[in-house]
Each structure stands twice: as C-alpha cells, then as structure tokens.
Amino acid sequence: MYPERVVRMLTRRFFVSPCLCGKQRCMTWKHLRSEPGPDFGIFQSRFDWLENPRNSHSLKAVVLEVPDWINVAAFTPEGKVVVVHQYRFGMRKTTTEIPAGIIEDGESHENAAKRELLEETGYSTDRWEYLGWVEPNPAFQNNRCHQWVARDVRRTNRQNLDDGEAIAVQELSVEEVRDKIHKGDMRNSLALLTLSRVLDVWGTSA
C-alpha cells in the first residue's frame, strides 16, 4: 500500500484510484470478513468488516440483504395511471404510490411485475415494457428495483391481498398525478423514479 499522504494527493488531484485493480476511480475496499446479523423476515442483516483503501483504516458496516423489488407504471387505454393507496409502516401514513412488490424466490422480475399488478389491483394486460433497474440504496442494501411499464391495463380480476395488506386502487389522470406530486401527496422515491421514465413528473417541460 502507498503511504496515505501519497494516495490522498493522487486521489484528490488526478482522480486516480486508491485501489490497485488498475481501473480508474475504482475505490474498492478490501473485504476482511462477514458475520450474519439479525434476520427481520423481509430482509436479513449482515456485518462486513472492510479496509479503507485510502488509509487502511478498518470499519464494520451493516448491510441489509433484501430481495429484489419491482415497480409498475400502469396505464389504462385512456392514459390514466393506476395508483395504490396503502398505510406504510415506515412513514406511519397512507401513501399514494404505484403498484410495487418483492420478487419471490426463483421468480423472474417480469413475472413479479405481472403478479403484483394483478394481486394489488386486479388489473392486467399483455403490453409490458421493461425500463431497467436502479439501486434503492447502494449504501446499505444489496438489492435492485426493476422498473416496468404496463400499457392498456384493464380490471380483469378481483384484488388478491394477503392478510397483511389493505390497498385501495384508483385511476388518476397524468395531470392528477402531477398535481399530487406537486402538492407532496406522492413522495415514494422509487415510485417517482419509475414514473419519471415515462412521465414529466415534475412538470418541468409542461
């Protein structure tokens, strides 16, 4: 390892990486060891001991091992957006979001998107388009959120909720969605990010 002063100087001035892998701006920390932490059901915690490439200082980090998630921006043939209202335990309030859920063990993210839309809302379609995936929280979660858009969705079934769910469904026009976002009535970051790929959510180019 280079002396810390030299590494700091190089990193600062030339943006070269303190990691020795050769890739520019790679800042990989050395993994020392891991230990499982408490299991919370919807995620499992893990402790990693890592070494800072900049100063060889070692650190204990908590990582949540979370299954991948899906988000669905669903549009009716009339161009309305299907939203879900549900009480969220984290924020302790009823939110307005888009259909979303957890990918089950061994399930494809495409199937999870179709299943969650159907279960949470009773809506379905055969017009699906994959938008991509994002990192919900790269700092302490290891999962991805896959983003789907469903077009020409129709109410074909009944909702099929778990005992642990209570969800109300509503169709909103794009203007109503934008208005809710503007008023602060839709703030779920992942829902907003998925919508931002298919709508001008902030009304900036309206």
Max CA distance (Å), the chain: 66
Which residues, numbered 37-66, are part of the site for its own copies (CB under 8 A)?
A: 37-38, 40-42, 45, 48, 50, 52-55, 57, 59, 61-64
C-alpha distances (whole Å) from 80 to each of 2, 130, 191 are 58, 19, 16
Stretch 159-188 residues interacting with its own copies (CB under 8 A): 159, 161, 163-170, 184, 187-188
Q: Which stretch binds its own copies (CB under 8 A): 72-80, 103-111, 112-120, 157-165?
A: 157-165
Q: Which two tokens stand for residue 171?
A: 């169709």
Amino acid sitting at position 150? A
Q: Is 46 exposed, middle or buried (0-12, 13-18, 19+ CB in 10 A)?
A: middle
190 near its own copies (CB under 8 A): yes
Number of CB atoms found within 10 A of residue 143's CB: 18
Torsion, CA 166, CA 170, CA 176, CA 182, rounded to 10? 10
Residue 27 is a binding residue for its own copies (CB under 8 A):
yes
The distance of closest approach from Cβ of residue 107 to its own copies in the complex, given in angstroms and rounded to an integer, is 19
Among 44, 133, 174, 180, contact with its own copies (rule: CB under 8 A): 133
Q: State how far the Cα of 175 lies from the Cα of 169, in Å rounded to an integer.
A: 17
Touching its own copies, residues 77-116 (CB under 8 A): 85-95, 97
CB of 156 to its own copies, least distance (A): 14
Instruction: For the CB of residue 24, give the shortest distance to its own copies in the complex, in Å.
Output: 9
Window contacting its own copies (CB under 8 A); options: 20-28, 73-81, 103-111, 112-120: 20-28
Residue 125: enclosing H or E segment and its boundaries?
none
Determine the interface stretch with its own copies among 23-31, 72-80, 103-111, 112-120 (rule: CB under 8 A).
23-31
Q: Is 124 in the site for its own copies (CB under 8 A)?
A: no
Judge residue 117's burial from the number of C-beta atoms within 10 Å of its C-beta, 0-12 exposed, 13-18 middle, 19 or more buried. Answer: buried
Angstrom distance (rounded) from CA 133 to CA 45: 22
Alpha-carbon dihedral sign for residues 191, 128, 70, 168: positive
| Cβ-based nearer residue to its own copies, 126 or 146 | 146
Q: Is 135 a residue that touches its own copies (CB under 8 A)?
A: yes
| Residue selected from 17, 82, 112, 125 as contacting its own copies according to rule CB under 8 A | 17
Residue 192 as a binder of its own copies (CB under 8 A): the answer is yes
